[in-house]
A and B are shown apart, each in its own frame.
Chain A
């Protein structure tokens, strides 16, 4: 069987680097696979076949000449459609931006992956302007979950997560403002990381709410995730021999959770021999603060555009942005002040613990045709509420991995593992142990029943 994107990035790079296969062959296999299967999931919005072929030629030439082609030589990747890519418009998932001026250069993270030898295959679907947890795009259609195409992939980086989960590319880039990496990683059953603030560069990224915006990778294994994270990160992480102090988050992070998600957290805690519980009584207020900061910043950023092109927006996104423009300044400033107070509280919490665990999403992916979920006994739109457990942690500005709980053959969900900035090495070591011990791990979709 030819080596394609369902192979790991590590295997692809090893084989390309030693000449056992060619980057050109990999790219042709991936393009053929996307041609065949993308329509089932609607992950890619644009496939950049010719530029990918040219990049593959350059990699193969380097291998032939004995020049180091980079640690990701020949590895195909996709980028959420809010990263600048030289020569094409950055749509941010908006039809109105299809004819925007082309980007003059690549976003820094795209450039870093290319310099490492990775090959950009195309742009990936998202909620318009990243405002949603569903990847139901009024213009480009919904992205479907590879584990059950009748269900949401999650969002707003749903195209990225679904493309990796479906095996169309081994790695992809997304952004996480309120949970837009962790929610789709959870629902699609793969790994994703929201980095600590200011660790992965944001230049060339279309903004949503800059105070909370971050970018990061998706992958099907921890080793691939860490490899890409290290290439994107500005900071060198240190390893640690210390045994991490692990606690589960209770209260807000258990309310509304499916019993299976809570059992997963408890199973991991029991395996680690920890019964510690971390209290975060500010979580609900933190979620509200994140809603208010996002609405205010998003609304302010789009106000001029809304004045002239309101009719061209996805109606669901337009409503939320317009509401944000009307938010009283006092409410916004209160949210900003809360953020500082909350971060001080989180710092205190991490004096007692190294790693905090909570579900990434309350349950498995909702159906696309019934995109609601139950919160406090009431049905609410999934699009706005799937980030129930991710939003409070976003405000903290800390690194958080969403890891797939190991449950082959069933609809996936993920667990969040949060740590304090600088302790990423310790976090990755713990996750590696849990992956080896069979508690965490991604699985190829087997098209679970939607009933």
Chain B
């Protein structure tokens, strides 16, 4: 897994794959798969955030 400099925006610099020697023709079609991962990352983020908010609220009530 490559570390990205902008983990939250999830903006991918596809040139990193080209730098690794992966042919441009093989990189051209990955946007759909990237968007799928972005969607799943958003769903997980939203759930985790909701749980954290609920935990804070519970703490305030007790």
Contacts and interface: CB of A to CB of B under 8 A. Distances in A.
Interface of A: 282, 284-285, 287-289, 291-292, 295-296, 299-300, 303, 306-308, 310-311, 313, 315, 318-320, 322-332, 334-335, 338, 341, 384
A292 B30 contact: no
Given A291-B40, A306-B22, A326-B12, A331 B7 contact: yes
Given A291-B37, A300-B1, A331-B10, A326 B16 contact: yes
Chain B binding surface, main DSSP class = helix
Contacts of A315: 29
B36 interface: yes
Given A315-B29, A323-B30, A326-B12, A295 B37 contact: yes
Given A326-B2, A335-B44, A310 B7 contact: no
Contacts of B41: 288, 292, 327, 331, 334
A322 B44 contact: no
Contacts of B10: 328, 331
A13 B2 CA distance: 51
Contact of B37 (A287, A313, A323): A323
Nearest to A317: B33
Given A323-B34, A326-B12, A334 B48 contact: yes
Contact of A288 (B17, B20, B21, B43): B43
A107 to B, nearest CB: 27
Contacts of B6: 328
A311 B4 contact: no
B1 A322 contact: no
Instruction: Give me the 4 closest cross-chain CB pairs, A-B, nearest first.
Output: A323-B33, A285-B47, A288-B40, A328-B7
Interface residues of B, number: 35
Chain A binding surface, main DSSP class = helix
B62 interface: no
B32 interface: yes
Contacts of B1: 296, 299-300, 324-325, 327, 329, 332
Nearest to A385: B36
A327 B43 CA distance: 15
Contacts of B2: 325-326
Contact of A326 (B8, B23, B34): B34
B27 A292 contact: no
Contacts of A318: 26
Nearest to B33: A323
Contact of B3 (A292, A308, A324, A328): A328
Given A328-B7, A335-B44, 17 more contacts: A285-B47, A289-B40, A289-B44, A292-B40, A292-B44, A306-B22, A308-B21, A310-B22, A310-B26, A322-B17, A322-B33, A325-B17, A326-B4, A327-B37, A329-B1, A331-B41, A334-B45
A329 B7 CA distance: 8
Contacts of A341: 51
Contact of B43 (A285, A325, A332, A384): A285
B48 to A, nearest CB: 7
Contacts of A324: 1, 37
